Amino acid sequence: MGTGEQLVTVAAVLLGAVTTHVTNHLMERNRTRYQLLTRWDDRKLDAYANYIDQVRSGVYAAVHLYEQREGIRDSGRSDQELVAELAETARVRGRAFERVLLLGGDDAVEAAHELNVRIMEVDWQAKGETTGTLDEWRERHRAVFGAINAFYDEVRADLGVSGSVTGERHPERDLLLPPQGPGNGDTGA
């Protein structure tokens, strides 16, 4: 084998080694990038789910306070205890909202801001800081649940989940209220 053939063989081996190294490097970089994206998606999902859990806890705490203050239902607890519970849910919800701000996509963050506005309106009426009728109270709840659905849609888009919870395939739903009648008083929210 001549010198030229040996050089071609060495060059082919070197080219194969470089190609293998570059290919392995690119595959490893893509695998690492995918792992990071997956890890952040997991954290985003946790942040979004925790935020919605805290929003719902706040709604339920506001309902208990409002119903007691309006004489609709007695919870067996004092107004001060219910106000303290509502304040605690607002504090925890605020912390959960901060995680959404930190990890969320732009549209999901904007939907969370809108949801915060709606939940605060419910909190304020429950505490008596704003006045309103029972119908206005219910309308505020409708707005909260509409904002929750809008948040879900933005979160699903941010996480790459197909479909939606609103739109023409999903009819708008109203609050679930007990029927009115004798011995079946209106229970508020």
User: Per residue in 58-102, pLDDT tens?
Assistant: 999 999 999 999 999 898 999 999 999 999 999 999 999 999 999
Check residues 28 and 52 and name the one with the higher pLDDT: 52
Q: List pLDDT tens digits, range 140-161.
A: 999 999 999 999 999 999 999 8
- pLDDT score, position 172: 67
With pLDDT > 90 as the criterion, what percentage of the chain qualifies?
A: 60
Taking the C-alpha atoms of residue 153 and residue 167, their distance in angstroms, rounded to an integer, is 10
Distance CA 78, CA 64 (A): 11
Nearest to 65 by CA among 153, 125, 9, 134: 125
Query: Does 45 have pLDDT greater than 70?
Result: yes
Q: Distance (Å, rounded) from C-alpha 149 to C-alpha 153?
A: 6
* pLDDT given at position 39: 64
- pLDDT band of 107, cuts 50, 70, 90: very high
> For residue 129, what are the contacts with CB-CB under 8 A and spacing of at least 6?
none
CB atoms within 10 A of CB 96: 20
Q: What integer pLDDT is reported at residue 21 of this predicted model?
A: 74
Burial class (CB in 10 A: 0-12, 13-18, 19+), 47: buried
Average pLDDT estimate for 13-39: 72
